[in-house]
Amino acid sequence: MNIGDYLRTTAETAVPELRLARWGWRAAIAALLLAGFGFGFWWLFLRPIEQRTQAEQAKVTATLATAAGNAAAKVIPQIQEATRQKVVVDVQVQKGTIDVRQASDAGTAVAGVSAAVVRGNCMLPSLYLTDGACEPVHETPAELGAARSDAGSASQPD
């Protein structure tokens, strides 16, 4: 037994609360050591995994952002070309319709041909949706079919 042990034993005998304080210090040191070990485990094992995961997620996000931009860059010209082609077709159909309606014998009724022209024109709803002649075509699409025969008509062909 050394002098330090003698003084400690004497002090604990005189003041019993010092024994509890000694256990409190031990518990505090144990908690600090446990926290240090936990931090060390996190630093050595978990943090590198988190960093790799974040780096991979950043790569995936960048790839997706680039892919979306590339897809849009490829698709937009195709959409514009399709829209341009639709406008060209619509203009051609309108010009044809105007030519047919302005013909000198436009008032001559040829039942089968007239019905076929109306049905053909009415299939372009963006142009003839409000045309009164197209209302029956748009209202009953199930009844659309081939044009009726023009056999036996009294009108002469053009």
CA distance 2 to 9: 11
| Model confidence band, residue 31 (pLDDT cutoffs 50, 70, 90) | very high
Q: Which residues contact 64 (CB under 8 A, 6 or more apart)?
A: none
| Model confidence band, residue 59 (pLDDT cutoffs 50, 70, 90) | very high
Mean pLDDT across the chain: 78
Q: Which of 19-28, 65-74, 85-94, 149-158 has the lowest mean pLDDT?
A: 149-158
Strands (E), the chain: none
The predicted pLDDT at position 158 comes to 46
CA distance 129 to 125: 5
How large a percentage of the chain has pLDDT more than 90?
25
Token readout for 140 is 């009953």
CA distance 88 to 81: 10
CA distance 101 to 114: 11
pLDDT for residue 45 is more than 80: yes
Rg (CA), the chain: 46
| Model confidence band, residue 81 (pLDDT cutoffs 50, 70, 90) | very high
pLDDT for residue 4 is more than 80: no
Does this model's pTM top 0.85?
A: no
3-state SS assignment for residue 42: helix
Q: Which of 137, 126, 138 is nearest to 90 (CA)?
A: 126
124 versus 90: which is more confidently predicted?
A: 90
pLDDT for residue 144 is more than 60: no
The predicted pLDDT at position 153 comes to 54
The domain segmentation of the chain, as residue ranges, is: 3-80
Q: How much is the average pLDDT of 109-115?
A: 69
Residue 18 · residue 11 · CB < 8 Å: yes
